[in-house]
Amino acid sequence: MRKLLAVVFLFSFAACNNSSDAPAEESAAVKIDSLPPQPVKEALPAYIHKFTDTALERKVTEVLLKLPFVKKSDAYIDSISGHKHGMAFMLDNTKGDSSISVLAGYNSEERFETYYHFYVDPKRMGVTIYDPLTNKTITVKEYLKRSK
């Protein structure tokens, strides 16, 4: 029975082809779209922010690079990048909030891979970490307890 079904399937598949009774000139004609082409507009992102305080940026990255788990991730990124670069940081200070949001991770040629999301208080250099599982920010001590 299986052989019969396989033969029927094979013949029906072979009978399906892309030939038509129309002459070659008609089948080779290119169909034109009914809508005229629209000009391409370059889409600018709605939000572009540059962190301008380089002294504060250096302080924040120095504080974060002292954390043991960030040191470990920095060494890992250094090894997978062929010793070209380490941990990358993207800083952003949001309006209305006194803390600085810092994304730390691997900045490859294709994308930025976020490893940690920190919030740093610029006045006292206090660091908290965003925990996506609980949707809360936690202290470094709490993060170290949870990661053990």
Q: Give the model's pLDDT for residue 40.
A: 61
- Structural domain for 120, as ranges: 54-147
Inter-CA distances, 50 with 1, 68, 143, Å: 71, 28, 29
pTM given for the model: 0.62
Domain membership flag for residue 95? yes
Domain membership flag for residue 33? no
Cα dihedral 99, 70, 103, 86 sign = positive
Domain membership flag for residue 121? yes
pLDDT along the chain (148 residues), means of 10: 73 62 61 73 49 81 94 93 88 76 90 92 92 91 89
Domain membership flag for residue 122? yes
Q: How many domains in the chain?
A: 1
Q: Which residues on adjacent β-strands are paired with residue 114?
A: 105
Q: Give the model's pLDDT for residue 24.
A: 56
- Do 93 and 111 touch, CB atoms closer than 8 A? no
Reported as a single tens digit per residue, the pLDDT across 59-88 is 999 999 999 999 999 999 999 888 888 899
Cα dihedral 56, 63, 134, 46 sign = positive
Domain membership flag for residue 88? yes
- The token pair at 105 is 């991770």
Domain membership flag for residue 36? no
Domain membership flag for residue 8? no
